[in-house]
């Protein structure tokens, strides 16, 4: 079974548009995807599979990067607020929470998962 179908490619395009990473592709790459979606139900050509595969990898990489960036931004702001609150309560070690990447990612992932409905 070929995973490169029109439905799969359309889903990938929709996710890239929603996450605002679609325009990380060049105009030529976007055109190849759009033309493929318009005229092909299942990609059987090796050359087209190779081209679409490279474009898909680029989309997936940009989706992953935007997700991680989002998690870090949310987690960092939460870590700062929690750190300030804990410092005001007298917890001296709480000042290190702002720079603790593990804590920042933990907070960001928990909030992001709740917002996305565990998708």
Q: What is the pLDDT averaged over residues 1-19? A: 82
Q: What percent of the chain has pLDDT over 90?
A: 43
Query: For position 111, what pLDDT does the model report?
Result: 81
3-class DSSP state of 5: strand
Q: Are the C-beta atoms of 73 and 39 separated by less than 8 Å?
A: no
pTM for this entry: 0.58
Residue 114 has pLDDT above 70, yes or no: no
The two structure tokens encoding residue 74: 């949310």
Residue 46 pLDDT > 90, yes or no?
Answer: no
Q: Is the pLDDT of residue 17 over 90?
A: yes
* Averaged pLDDT, 16-43: 92
Calculate the CA 63 to chain-centre distance: 3
Tell me the CB-side half-sphere exposure of residue 21, using CA atoms within 13 A.
21
């Amino acid at each position: 079974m070929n995973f490169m179908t029109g439905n799969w490619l359309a889903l990938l395009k929709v996710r890239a548009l929603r996450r605002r990473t679609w325009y990380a592709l060049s105009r030529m790459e976007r055109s190849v995807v759009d033309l493929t979606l318009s005229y092909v139900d299942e990609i059987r050509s090796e050359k087209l599979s190779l081209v679409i595969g490279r474009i898909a990898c680029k989309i997936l990489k940009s989706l992953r990067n935007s997700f991680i960036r989002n998690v870090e931004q949310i987690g960092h702001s939460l870590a700062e607020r929690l750190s300030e609150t804990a410092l005001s309560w007298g917890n001296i070690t709480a000042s290190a929470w702002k720079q603790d990447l593990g804590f920042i990612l933990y907070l960001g992932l928990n909030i992001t998962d709740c917002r996305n409905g565990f998708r």
